[in-house]
């Protein structure tokens, strides 16, 4: 497996000043860089840092032993009281104006945060986000048009999500315009994809880890979820084997923000977003999230920066009664829900707005029926890549994790066909091209690509 890549980091310094007439307060420990950074000093020093009002939720799922400290670049400096509170604290850089502080031994996270707030610092938890796939029985792998024998049974799976989303017609529209089905640069923020899978060989132009450095020096480890999501977007196509990706060619970046258990933090995701923007990504797929997150200022700021240049597509979530998950609920992110066997009905698991959570779905795409939903049959779920083994494995899955990358692939085709489109223009064209005949904003790849063509 490739080793985790640690990119060089040049840090935005905290403004450290002592009050006049007092002896200097002890400085905190030096700030250690996180992985997945390549900003220049000038870029960091000029990056805008403006935190909206927020309420930190310490009851939400979060990384224990960690608190995020938010610095305001416009402030004149930290007081001696704030400097004293940070004295001896181990800090790591997350992004512009953000440091991850390790809670001192013997002190609870909430108590540590309260102590920092009392010293005049803005803090929040390092929230935990989860992969949003709904895995079905892994013993039923499938592939488009391939008969796969599992023990004594054979399942014949088809990529009906491509035809239902009119992806082949989008390819035809590009061909008619004299263009190849080549996508703009796509970044997949997920667990690490299996680069040795035959369907991904030669596809990932870069793969880095944005997880907090492992003290044991663990290597970047491939996971099914990242392999599955990446394959929906860009599995090798027209090669006579396996499944077809929405995007036939084009730059593809993998940023590991979820560990092998499918968990990632605010710091991991913010690092991944910053890395994707630095590397020129024009589409960012995020098939992960958490419900009811209201106060993640760090990730909110990273998303706001990223959506200025990239179209960020996020899975809406896999519970029908908790509203659209964050980060899909961010106003500039494309929130993708899932339809099951019918284009006129949301899959039983798909997130959706309700009275308490009014954020609407921007678009829906096939995501599989899902085990436990009415009418479930394994062959109605999506055939996706599976990591490990001989690299030729496939499986059947369901979830908004897999409807989102279908949309990301189409957005990549749009921006690949017309590089002059801004992120905002692309989002508007995508939303304006959906098929609402059945009452839902159903993805229409052909209409979206035709709208994008110059």
Burial status of residue 46 (CB atoms within 10 A of its CB: 0-12, 13-18, 19 or more): exposed
Distance (Å, whole) CA 200 – CA 193: 9
Asked whether 14 and 99 are in contact (CB, 8 A), the reply is yes
Known catalytic membership, residue 197: no
Note the maximum CA span of the chain: 82
Identify which of 332, 336, 327 has the alpha carbon closest to the alpha carbon of residue 296.
327
- Beta bridge mates, 16: 78
Known catalytic membership, residue 225: yes
* Catalytic option among 109, 190, 268, 300: 190
Asked whether 287 and 335 are in contact (CB, 8 A), the reply is no
* Catalytic option among 191, 401, 403, 408: 401
Distance (Å, whole) CA 57 – CA 443: 35
- Beta bridge mates, 284: 187, 312
Distance (Å, whole) CA 143 – CA 373: 22
C-alpha dist (Å) from residue 301 to 50, 251, 296: 8, 26, 9
Buried b (16+ CB within 10 A) or exposed e, 285-304: bbbbbbbebebbbbbbbbbb
Known catalytic membership, residue 216: no
Phi-psi bin for 186: left (phi > 0), alpha (psi -120 to 50), beta? beta
Token representation of residue 454: 């110059």
Asked whether 126 and 221 are in contact (CB, 8 A), the reply is no
* Catalytic option among 225, 330, 362, 387: 225
C-alpha dist (Å) from residue 446 to 174, 313, 339, 407, 411: 9, 18, 18, 12, 11
Angle, CA 134 vertex, CA 128 and CA 135 arms, to 5°: 115
42's CB contacts (< 8 A; 6+ apart) are none
Distance (Å, whole) CA 340 – CA 366: 6
Identify which of 392, 442, 4 has the alpha carbon closest to the alpha carbon of residue 235.
392
Whether omega before 327 lies within 30 degrees of 0, making that bond cis, reads: yes
Asked whether 290 and 130 are in contact (CB, 8 A), the reply is yes
Q: Which sequence positions are flagged as catalytic?
A: 190, 225, 401
């Amino acid at each position: 497996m490739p080793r985790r890549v640690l990119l060089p980091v040049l840090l935005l310094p905290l403004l450290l000043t002592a009050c006049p007439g007092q002896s200097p307060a002890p400085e905190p420990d030096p700030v250690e860089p996180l992985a997945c950074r390549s900003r220049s000093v000038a870029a960091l020093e000029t990056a805008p840092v403006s935190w909206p009002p927020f309420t930190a939720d310490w009851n939400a799922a979060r990384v224990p032993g960690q608190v995020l400290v938010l610095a305001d670049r416009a402030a004149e400096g930290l007081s001696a009281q704030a400097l004293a509170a940070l004295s001896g604290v181990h800090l790591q850089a997350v992004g512009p104006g953000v440091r991850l502080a390790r809670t001192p031994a013997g002190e609870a996270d909430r108590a540590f945060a309260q102590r920092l707030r009392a010293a005049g610092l803005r803090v929040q938890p390092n929230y935990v986000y989860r992969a949003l796939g709904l895995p079905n029985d892994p013993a039923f792998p499938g592939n488009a048009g391939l008969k796969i024998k599992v023990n004594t049974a054979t399942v014949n799976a088809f990529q009906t999500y491509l035809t239902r989303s009119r992806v082949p017609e989008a390819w035809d529209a590009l061909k008619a315009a004299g263009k190849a089905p080549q996508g703009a640069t796509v970044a997949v923020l997920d667990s690490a994809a299996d680069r040795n899978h035959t369907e991904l060989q030669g596809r990932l132009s870069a793969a880095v880890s944005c997880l907090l450095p492992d003290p044991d020096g663990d290597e970047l480890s491939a996971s099914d979820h990242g392999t599955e999501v990446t394959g929906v977007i860009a599995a090798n196509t027209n090669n006579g084997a396996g499944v077809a990706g929405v995007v036939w060619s084009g730059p593809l970046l993998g940023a590991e923000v979820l560990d092998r258990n499918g968990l990632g933090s605010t710091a991991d995701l913010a690092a991944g977003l910053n890395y994707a923007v630095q590397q020129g990504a024009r589409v960012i797929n995020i098939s992960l999230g958490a419900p009811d997150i209201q106060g993640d200022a760090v990730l909110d700021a990273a998303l706001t920066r990223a959506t200025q240049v990239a179209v960020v597509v996020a899975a809406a979530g896999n519970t029908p009664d908790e509203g659209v998950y964050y980060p899909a609920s961010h106003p500039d992110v494309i929130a993708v829900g899932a339809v099951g066997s019918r284009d006129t009905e949301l899959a039983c698991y798909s997130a959706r707005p309700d009275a308490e959570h009014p954020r609407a779905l921007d678009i829906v795409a096939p995501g599989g029926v899902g085990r436990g939903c009415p009418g479930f049959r394994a062959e109605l779920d999506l055939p996706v890549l599976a990591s490990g083994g001989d690299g030729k494995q496939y499986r059947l899955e369901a979830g908004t994790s897999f409807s989102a990358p279908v949309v990301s692939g189409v957005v990549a085709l749009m921006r690949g066909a017309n590089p002059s489109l801004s992120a905002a223009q692309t989002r508007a064209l995508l939303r304006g091209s959906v098929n609402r005949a059945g009452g839902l904003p159903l993805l229409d790849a052909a209409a979206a690509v035709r709208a994008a063509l110059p």
